[in-house]
């Protein structure tokens, strides 16, 4: 299969601090790739580079053969990337349905059509009973689910998920994993996720990339990663710091 | 048809109240005084402007503190075209509103080009309003500080000339009512359209909105254009209703504050809030004037004092109290108590 | 226009600008720390002017000598305003805070109107009509020179306070990092009230100084609020040096506008400058760049 997203030697520094250093990464069309690493490894920065929040200092980011580096976040969305935020950003004064409808209006002007597609996404994320609640009244896990539904509603080719399982109970995590698996199988959507919940990473991803101090230190299948001494080192090292 | 949609948002009780309210408004000239008619005309005019201002802040999260600017440039333009070139307002309204929209776009361009935050946009709107006020002060062509006047004859005051907007106070009253209704229904349509959804998304969280493919700059510009356009229409009405325009009384910052007050008191972001706010504040202001006049005539207060001061002092106090104790506005509170509007999903 | 007309105008503009800078400092301090745009800025300054007027009428006190008392009284006013009223709207959106302060502004103007009446009132001090003649052609009003010196001295004091004193440093810490300041045990609400108090005290001082230059009346206030907005946007919102630089720039541009066009056009000139700055350097001259 061809690569949908191709990240080549991307670097980003903030005030001299190298947050992402010379990272390359390739996500195949229809693939599910996890990005893991200890806190401060540069995962979210890499996401923000892909999503156009700020430009990379060096390197190239290519989506479906098209260079998307330097585009604005809304143009990145037009190009086919949907994202969630690590620190969730629902539209607090709008209802769940309205939140997701905003996403579904991407590519259509018809409100009824957008609402219909929003409802489907809300059901998919198992939030149908909360459809008319204002987003500010939701619990954190629900807000995360809302973000996923909203991003999905824009009909992206690639979905960037930033720690959407954090705070979920194990059974809820399994449900969410099942949702992504069936989405991936039915629609062929490609998923790149940042995740700390190893249970989700192991059962969901085909391929795992490990970042540490902004650099890629390992990649491979989940089984391979879980036995890589370099990876174990960086996590253990962190625990000693704590 | 837009009007019917408006009814669809309301509960039965809400619809009945709205219809009673409309019946009172429509029949008002037949049973009240010319004073009441003029106060209600101004109230309706302020309801239109409140709606326009609310479109920016309540829908799209953009704070305008110089809204009188859009009203004023349009009023001056239409009045100038009529008094000097003889162009009837029915045509003059187009260049007049276009000018208001253009100025809105200029301010929007300056304010939104860099995402520096809302304070800048707000301060820019005041700065532009002041700049234009001073410029108009110095433009002899349109009267300068001496003011710009529209000729009105006694025959005009009895007529019903919608093309030239010369006519009986009743004509202006019903025109204001029609405009207020159209603005309300139009804003409702906008709010329920893609534009409205996108505006609210930008208002609630700009970054998230952008990540969903919304070109934030463009949609903010749309909000400013619609809002300044509505203000422009109201400006033309104002020019021909007042027949006299002075830079200070048209562009002054008090005018801009007056415009913003109705929606804030009524409830920012709601459709009926601006209307309710106008119908609370304008009569309140009139009442205060009556009250201070009474104090003066009865000798309780030295008649030599300029009592405008006292009126505005109380007015400021009322506003401060609303901000402190009912910051969401009166409409949401009233609606909660009396159940006027239908919640989705019920 | 000959060289000396220009030189005189620029000198006048520079000295007036220093007073403007002091006044804008009051706005900048409050915005920089509490993130509130003080819509009652000019109104609080006019309170200072009226105070100096009363002191002059009753005791024959030179406005410059009224500065300490005016500053002290307005400090207390500002402290309590922040701690009892403004702090209550801190959680509300920007426009509600604007509105509360605008309402306060309306109340101050109209209270002044009821007490002092609408007519402009001037003071007449011994040196009102004196001037320093430097060489043959450069003439500087004594009152303007004294006003500028006082403005510079107070601005210097204030900058020193924020740079060196413990309290000043604590306030700056609050401005940089609200949460961090709370974590290290600073009493943020007290520091905010202190900041508003200091801002108001600066305005009291600026009002006294300004009374040397112009007549006072209640309707003066909104114009000075706007002027201060223009100055701090030009200088960079929240930047203290920016407020001073912006003040000088506006003072000089007003003076130039007065001789090139006509005095009543001077504020149009300032707004023109504002728009120019926003086009070329939107964060203001001394403001930190956004990205």
CA distance A137 to chain B (A): 14
What domain range includes position C162?
Answer: 8-117+142-280
Residue recorded with tokens 């890629």: A216
What residues contact residue B323 under an 8 Å CB cut-off, 6+ apart? B264, C89, C92, C96, C99, C100, C103
The domain made up of B8-338 has a fold known as ABC transporter involved in vitamin B12 uptake, BtuC (1.10.3470)
Closest-CA residue to B185 (of B239, B241, B230, B222): B230
pLDDT at B265 exceeding the cut of 60: yes
Residues B202-238 pLDDT 10s: 999 999 999 999 999 999 999 999 999 999 999 999 9
* B121 near C CB under 8 A: no
Element (H, E) at B139: none
Q: Which residue in C234, C271, C281 has the most chain B C-beta atoms within 10 A of its own C-beta, making it the best mutation to test that interface?
A: C271
Domain-embedded: residue A46: yes
Indicate which of B59, B119, B206 best probes the interface with C, i.e. most C CBs within 10 Å of its own CB. Answer: B119
Beta pairing, strands C138-141 & A17-28: unpaired
| Choice among A95-104, B3-12, B233-242 with the minimum mean pLDDT | B3-12
List pLDDT tens digits, range A31-70: 899 998 888 788 889 999 999 998 888 899 999 888 998 8
pLDDT above 60 (res B23): yes
B110 inside 8 A of chain C by CB: yes
From C135's Cα to the closest Cα of chain B, the distance in A is 37
More confident residue, C272 or B188: B188
DSSP string, C84-134: IIGGGGTTS-HHHHHHHHHHHHHHHHHHHHHHH-SS-B----TTTT-EEEE
Residue A165's pLDDT is what? 86
Residues of A with CB under 8 A from a CB of B: 51, 53, 72-74, 76-78, 82-83, 85, 89-95, 97-98, 101-103, 105-107, 109, 111, 114, 131-132, 150-151, 154
Residues of chain B positioned with their CB less than 8 A from the CB of A90: 204-205, 208
A124 belongs to a structural domain: no
Which has the closest alpha carbon to B132: B255, B250, B261? B250
In a domain, C130, yes or no: no
* pLDDT band (50, 70, 90) for residue C196: very high
Interface contact flag, C107 B320, Cβ < 8 Å: yes
Q: Which ipTM score applies to this complex?
A: 0.91
Q: Does a structural domain hold residue C285? A: no
pLDDT confidence band for B306 (50 / 70 / 90): low
Question: Where residue A38 sits, what CATH number does that domain have?
Answer: 3.40.50.300
Distances (CA, A) of C216 to A184, B305, C74, C248: 73, 18, 18, 22
In this predicted structure, what is the pLDDT of residue A239?
Answer: 47
Among C266, C120, C265, C254, CA closest to B144:
C265
- Under an 8 A CB cutoff, do C230 and B323 touch? no
Structure tokens at A22: 């010379």
Judged by CB atoms closer than 8 Å, whether chains meet at A106 and B212 is answered as yes
Residue environment code for C93-126, b if the CB has 16+ CB neighbours within 10 A, otherwise e: ebbbbbbbbbbbbbbbbbbbbbebeeeeeebebe
Maximum mean pLDDT: which of A13-17, A165-169, B90-94, C123-127? B90-94
Distance from C-alpha of B82 to C-alpha of B151, rounded to nearest angstrom: 10
pLDDT > 70 in chain A, percent? 97
The answer to whether position C31 is within a domain reads: yes
Select from B194, B204, B345 the Cβ nearest to the Cβ of A105: B194
Alpha helices in B151-193 (DSSP H): 154-158, 169-191
- Report yes or no on A224 lying in a domain: yes
Domain ranges of chain B: 8-338
Do the Cβ atoms of B127 and C118 come within 8 Å?
no
The CATH number for C256's domain is: 1.10.3470
Q: What is the DSSP letter of B59?
A: I
Residue C123, domain member (yes or no): no
Cα(A135)–Cα(A123) distance, rounded to whole angstroms? Answer: 16
Chain C residues whose CB is inside 8 A of the B130 CB are 226, 267, 271
Closest CA to C254 of C221, C276, C238, C231: C231
Q: What is the pLDDT of residue A19?
A: 87
Q: At what angle do helices B253-266 and C94-116 cross, to 10 degrees?
A: 130
Interface check B162 vs A, CB under 8 A: no
Residue C282 pLDDT more than 80? no
Cross-chain Cβ contact A94/B200 below 8 Å: yes
Residue A230 domain boundaries: 1-80+189-242
Does residue A16 come out as left (phi exceeding 0), alpha (psi in the -120 to 50 range) or beta?
left
> Which of the listed ranges A203-207, B10-14, B236-240, C133-137 does the model predict with the highest average pLDDT?
B236-240
Q: Which chain A residues contact residue B207 at CB under 8 A?
A: 53, 73, 85, 89
A–B CB contacts, 8 A cutoff, strictly below: 82
The kind and range of the H/E element at A141 are helix A140-153
Per-residue pLDDT of A113-164, as tens digits, reads 999 999 999 998 889 999 999 999 998 888 999 999 999 999 999 999 998 8
Question: In total, how many domains does chain A have?
Answer: 1
Nearest to B319 among C103, C229, C262 (CB): C103
Q: For residues C28-62, b (16+ Cβ closer than 10 Å) or e, as one string?
A: bbbbbbbbbbbbbbbbbbbbbbbbbbebbeeeebb
Mean pLDDT value of segment C218-247: 88
* Contact predicate C32/C238, CB 8 Å: yes
Residue C1 lies in a domain: no
């Amino acid at each position: 299969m061809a690569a949908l997203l191709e990240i080549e030697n991307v670097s980003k520094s903030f005030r001299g601090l190298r947050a992402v250093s010379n990272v390359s990464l390739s996500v195949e069309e229809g693939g599910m790739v996890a990005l893991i690493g200890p806190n401060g490894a540069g995962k979210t920065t890499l996401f923000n580079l892909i999503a156009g929040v700020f430009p990379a200092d060096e390197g190239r980011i290519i989506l479906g053969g098209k260079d998307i580096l330097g585009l604005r976040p809304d143009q990145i969305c037009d190009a086919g990337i949907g994202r969630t935020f690590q620190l969730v950003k629902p539209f607090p004064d709008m209802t769940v349905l309205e939140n997701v409808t905003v996403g579904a209006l991407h590519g259509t002007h018809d409100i009824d059509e957008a609402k219909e597609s929003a409802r489907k996404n809300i059901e998919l994320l198992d939030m149908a009973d909360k459809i008319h609640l204002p987003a500010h009244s939701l619990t954190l896990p629900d807000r995360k689910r809302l973000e996923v539904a909203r991003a999905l509603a824009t009909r992206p080719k690639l979905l960037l998920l930033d720690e959407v399982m954090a705070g979920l109970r194990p059974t809820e995590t399994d449900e969410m994993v099942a949702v992504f698996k069936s989405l991936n199988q039915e629609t062929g959507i490609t998923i790149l996720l940042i995740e700390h919940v190893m249970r989700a990473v192991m059962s969901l991803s085909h391929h795992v990339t490990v970042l540490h101090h902004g650099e890629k230190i390992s990649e491979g299948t989940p089984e391979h990663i879980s036995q890589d001494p370099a990876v174990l080192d960086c996590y253990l090292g962190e625990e000693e710091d704590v | 048809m837009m009007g019917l949609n408006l009814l669809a948002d309301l509960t039965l009780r809400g619809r009945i109240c709205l219809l009673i309210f409309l019946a009172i408004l429509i029949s008002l000239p037949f049973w009240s005084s010319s004073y009441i008619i003029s106060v209600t005309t101004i109230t309706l005019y302020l309801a239109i402007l409140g709606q326009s201002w609310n479109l920016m802040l309540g829908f799209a999260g953009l704070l305008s503190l110089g809204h009188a600017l859009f009203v004023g440039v349009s009023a001056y333009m239409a009045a100038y075209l009529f008094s000097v070139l003889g162009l009837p307002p029915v045509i003059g309204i187009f260049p007049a509103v276009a000018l208001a929209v253009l100025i809105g776009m200029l301010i929007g361009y300056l304010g939104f080009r860099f995402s520096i935050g809302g304070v800048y946009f707000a301060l820019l709107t005041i700065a532009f309003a002041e700049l234009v006020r001073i410029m108009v002060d110095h433009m002899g062509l349109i009267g300068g500080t001496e003011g710009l006047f529209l000729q009105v004859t006694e025959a005009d005051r009895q007529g019903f000339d919608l093309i030239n907007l010369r006519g009986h106070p009743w004509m202006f009253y019903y025109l204001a009512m029609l405009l207020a209704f159209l603005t309300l229904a139009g804003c409702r349509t906008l709010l329920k359209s893609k534009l409205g959804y996108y505006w609210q998304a930008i208002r609630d969280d700009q970054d998230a909105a952008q990540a969903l493919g919304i070109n934030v700059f463009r949609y903010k510009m749309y909000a400013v254009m619609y809002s300044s356009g509505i203000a422009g229409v109201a400006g033309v009405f104002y020019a021909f209703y007042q027949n006299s325009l002075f830079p200070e009384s048209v562009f002054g910052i008090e005018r801009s504050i007056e415009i913003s007050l109705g929606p804030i008191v009524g409830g920012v972001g709601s459709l009926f809030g601006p209307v309710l706010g106008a119908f609370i504040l304008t009569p309140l202001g009139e009442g205060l004037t009556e009250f201070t006049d009474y104090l003066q005539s009865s000798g309780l207060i030295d008649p030599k004092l300029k009592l405008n001061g006292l009126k505005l002092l109380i007015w400021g106090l009322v506003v401060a109290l609303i901000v402190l104790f009912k910051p969401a506005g009166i409409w949401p509170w009233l609606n909660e108590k009396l159940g006027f509007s239908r919640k989705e999903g019920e | 226009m000959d060289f000396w007309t220009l030189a005189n105008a620029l000198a006048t503009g520079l000295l007036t600008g220093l007073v403007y800078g002091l006044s804008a400092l009051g706005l900048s301090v409050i915005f920089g720390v509490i993130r509130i745009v003080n819509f009652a800025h000019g109104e609080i300054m006019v309170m200072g002017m009226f105070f100096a007027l009363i002191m002059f009428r009753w005791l024959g006190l030179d406005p410059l000598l009224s500065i300490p008392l005016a500053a002290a009284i307005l400090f207390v006013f500002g402290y309590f305003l922040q701690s009892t009223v403004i702090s209550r709207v801190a959680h509300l959106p920007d426009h509600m805070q604007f509105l509360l302060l605008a309402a306060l502004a309306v109340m101050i103007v109209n209270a002044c109107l009821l007490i002092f009446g609408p007519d402009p009132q001037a003071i007449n001090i011994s040196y009102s009509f004196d001037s320093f003649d430097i060489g043959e052609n450069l003439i500087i009003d004594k009152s303007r020179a004294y006003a500028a010196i006082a403005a510079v001295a107070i601005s210097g004091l204030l900058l020193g306070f924020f740079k060196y004193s413990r309290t000043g440093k604590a306030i700056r810490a609050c401005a940089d990092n609200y949460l961090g300041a709370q974590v290290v045990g600073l009493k943020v609400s007290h520091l905010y009230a202190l900041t508003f108090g200091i801002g108001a005290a600066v305005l009291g001082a600026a009002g006294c100084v300004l009374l040397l230059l112009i007549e006072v009346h209640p309707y003066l206030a909104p114009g000075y609020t706007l002027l201060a907005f223009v100055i701090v946007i030009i200088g960079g919102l929240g930047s203290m040096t920016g407020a001073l630089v912006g003040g000088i720039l506006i003072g000089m541009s007003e003076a130039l506008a007065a001789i090139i066009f006509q005095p009543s056009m001077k504020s149009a000139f300032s707004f023109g400058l504002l728009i120019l700055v926003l086009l070329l350097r939107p964060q203001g001259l001394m403001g930190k760049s956004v990205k």
